[in-house]
């Protein structure tokens, strides 16, 4: 029988896409969904562990899409300049390109590809999530079903999967050295994964030596950011933000201790990309 359509769901190693996979499995078991993860090679170990747990729940392997060329290759192509919000070559080359290489032949052969994306009902629908090929259909099941952040947490808890382990210190998936990290996340990366932090520092040093205008974190190098007095300042500022947010937050009777606060709740939503952080 000729295949006329295909269903795919990209996992970032983050909370929302995992909850969407659980939701689709529970509510639309009739769809044969290909779950995939695009590996930049610079992911946290907790991401692989979480995806392993998710595979157990889904009862099928998650397809791993590896970029044909790694971060170091692309870094050289970009003259050792670090990727940044203004020049996000990393997402383009390491996340989107492998996906396109995978589905392009399917689309060209006339197969309709349905891609399920984890935009929640409490999030804005931004342009750019729409498809650029007539056979690629983007679906937003959480938006359609009115599932918000609390709903996502319920799905993960109810399934027994829970949150990825990195949630105890960072609320986003993505590369260890992602430039979308807030200063507090850099401090925590240093504490939790000192080797990954040292690697990021080395990339930064090399970039600056090659004339890169970007450091990983805006306005200061990682060397400067991790001076003891600076660390203390960053931690104090972070605690103050949490206190302010807790005062503003309405108490949910089902969660008297409050919902876990995302970094985006505290620092405002960054224009991060779905492939990396959802």
> Cβ 173 to ligand SF4, closest distance in Å?
7
Judged by CB under 6 A, which stretch of 20-28, 50-58, 175-183, 215-223 contacts ligand SF4?
175-183
Q: In terms of residues, how long is the chain?
A: 278
CB atoms within 10 A of CB 85: 12
Q: Does 90 bind ligand SF4 (CB under 6 A)?
A: yes
> Cβ 40 to ligand SF4, closest distance in Å?
5
**117 contacts 278 by C-beta, under 8 angstroms:** yes
Distance CA 117, CA 95 (A): 15
Distance CA 276, CA 125 (A): 17
Q: In which region does residue 54 sit, left (phi positive, over 0), alpha (psi from -120 to 50) or beta (all else)?
A: alpha
Q: Does 207 bind ligand SF4 (CB under 6 A)?
A: no
Q: Does 94 bind ligand SF4 (CB under 6 A)?
A: yes
Q: Does 196 bind ligand SF4 (CB under 6 A)?
A: no
Which are the contacts of 10, defined by CB distance < 8 A and separation ≥ 6?
17, 36, 37, 38, 99, 115, 117, 274, 275
Q: Which residue is nearest to ligand SF4 (CB)?
A: 174
Q: Does 17 bind ligand SF4 (CB under 6 A)?
A: no
Contacting ligand SF4 (CB under 6 A), which of 83, 192, 274, 278? 83
> Cβ 130 to ligand SF4, closest distance in Å?
20
Which is nearer to ligand SF4, 91 or 212 (by Cβ)?
91
Which is nearer to ligand SF4, 22 or 44 (by Cβ)?
44
CA atoms within 13 A on the CB side of 17: 27
Q: Which residue bears the tokens 């639309």?
A: 28
**62 contacts 37 by C-beta, under 8 angstroms:** yes
Contacting ligand SF4 (CB under 6 A), which of 36, 37, 116, 180? 180
Q: Does 98 bind ligand SF4 (CB under 6 A)?
A: no
> Cβ 251 to ligand SF4, closest distance in Å?
33
Distance CA 235, CA 231 (A): 6
Judged by CB under 6 A, which stretch of 25-33, 98-106, 171-179, 235-243 contacts ligand SF4?
171-179
Which are the contacts of 192, defined by CB distance < 8 A and separation ≥ 6?
166, 169, 170
Q: What are phi and psi of 89, to 5 degrees?
A: -70, -25
Which is nearer to ligand SF4, 156 or 175 (by Cβ)?
175
Judged by CB under 6 A, which stretch of 158-166, 170-178, 193-201, 251-259 contacts ligand SF4?
170-178
Interface residue list for ligand SF4 (CB under 6 A) = 40, 83, 88, 90-91, 94-95, 174-175, 178, 180, 273, 276
């Amino acid at each position: 029988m000729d295949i006329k359509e295909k269903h795919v769901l990209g996992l970032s190693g983050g909370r929302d896409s995992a909850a969407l996979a659980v939701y689709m499995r529970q509510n639309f078991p009739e769809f044969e969904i290909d779950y995939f993860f695009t590996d930049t090679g610079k992911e946290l170990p907790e991401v692989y562990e979480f995806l392993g747990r998710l595979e157990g729940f889904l009862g099928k392997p998650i397809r791993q899409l590896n970029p044909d060329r790694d971060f170091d290759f692309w870094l050289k192509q970009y003259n050792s300049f670090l990727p940044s919000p203004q020049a996000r070559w990393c997402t383009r080359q390491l996340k989107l390109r492998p996906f396109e290489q995978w589905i392009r032949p399917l689309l060209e052969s006339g197969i309709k590809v349905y891609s399920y994306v984890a935009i929640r009902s409490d999030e804005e629908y931004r342009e750019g999530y729409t498809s650029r090929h007539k056979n690629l259909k983007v679906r937003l099941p959480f938006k359609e079903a009115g599932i918000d952040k609390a709903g996502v947490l319920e799905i993960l808890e109810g399934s027994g999967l829970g949150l990825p382990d990195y949630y105890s210190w960072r609320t986003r998936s993505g590369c260890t050295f992602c430039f979308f990290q807030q200063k507090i996340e850099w401090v925590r990366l240093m504490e939790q994964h000192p080797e990954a932090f040292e690697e990021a520092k080395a990339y930064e040093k090399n970039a600056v030596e090659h004339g890169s205008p970007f450091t990983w974190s805006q306005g200061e190098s990682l060397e400067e950011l991790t001076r003891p007095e600076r660390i203390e300042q960053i931690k104090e500022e972070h605690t103050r933000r949490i206190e302010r947010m807790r005062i503003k937050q309405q108490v949910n009777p089902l969660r008297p201790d409050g919902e876990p606060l995302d970094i985006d709740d505290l620092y405002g939503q960054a224009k991060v990309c779905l492939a990396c952080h959802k």
